[in-house]
C-alpha cells in the first residue's frame, strides 16, 4: 500500500469545515504503518524482527492548499531521504491530481540496549527503496 484514499468528514475538520492541521499526522501514521504491514513489518515489533528500535525524531507538514469537508484525498508515500542511521518518509496529499499538502516523518534507528544510533537494517532498506523518490521542485 503506497497510497491510501479517503473522503474527509466533519470529524476531520475545524468548526468552519477546513481540515484540522493536526489530523494530517494521524493520516500519515495510518499510511506508514499500513505500508510497513504490507511489507511484513509491524512498526511496534521492529526490535524483534530487525533488531533495532525506530523512533520518530522529526515531523512536519506544509499546507499548500485548503482542504475542506468531503474533499477526496489520496496519500502517496514517497521516499524523501535515506541516511545511514535515519530515514524520512514523505506523504503527498493529493486532491484532483494536485499535491495540496506534503508531510514528512523522520525515523532514527537505535540500538535497543544502549539507545545509541544504529545502522538501518538491510531488510528495512530494501522496503524503503520500494517507495518512489520525492520529486524535487
CB-count exposure of residue 53 (10 Å: 0-12, 13-18, 19+): middle
pLDDT average, residue stretch 86-107: 97
Over residues 17-61, the pLDDT tens digits come to 999 999 999 999 999 999 999 999 998 888 999 999 999 999 999
Among 84, 77, 74, 87, CA closest to 119? 84
Q: Name the average pLDDT for the chain.
A: 94
- pLDDT in the model for residue 15: 93
User: What is the CATH architecture assignment of 3-128?
Assistant: Roll (3.10)
- pLDDT in the model for residue 1: 58
- Count of CA atoms in the C-beta half-sphere (13 A) of 17: 4
Query: 36 in helix, strand or coil?
Result: helix
The DSSP code sequence of 81-134 is: EE-SSEEEEEEEEEETTEEEEEEEEEEEEE-TTT--B-PPPHHHHHHHTTSPBP
What does the domain layout of the chain look like in residue ranges?
3-128
pLDDT at 119 over 60: yes
pLDDT at 3 over 90: no
Amino acid at each position: 500500500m503506497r497510497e491510501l484514499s479517503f473522503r474527509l468528514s466533519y470529524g476531520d475538520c475545524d468548526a468552519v469545515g477546513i481540515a484540522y492541521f493536526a489530523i494530517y499526522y494521524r493520516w500519515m501514521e495510518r499510511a506508514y504503518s499500513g505500508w510497513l504491514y504490507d511489507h511484513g513489518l509491524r512498526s511496534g515489533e521492529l526490535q524483534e524482527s530487525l533488531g533495532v528500535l525506530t523512533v520518530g525524531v522529526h515531523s512536519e507538514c506544509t499546507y499548500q492548499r485548503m482542504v475542506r469537508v468531503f474533499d477526496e484525498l489520496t496519500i502517496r508515500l514517497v521516499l524523501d531521504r535515506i541516511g545511514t542511521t535515519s530515514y524520512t518518509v514523505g506523504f503527498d496529499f493529493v486532491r484532483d491530481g494536485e499535491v495540496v499538502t506534503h508531510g514528512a516523518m523522520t525515523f532514527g534507528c537505535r540500538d535497543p540496549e544502549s539507545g545509541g544510533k544504529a545502522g538501518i537494517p538491510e531488510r528495512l532498506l530494501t522496503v524503503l527503496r520500494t517507495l518512489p523518490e520525492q520529486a524535487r521542485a
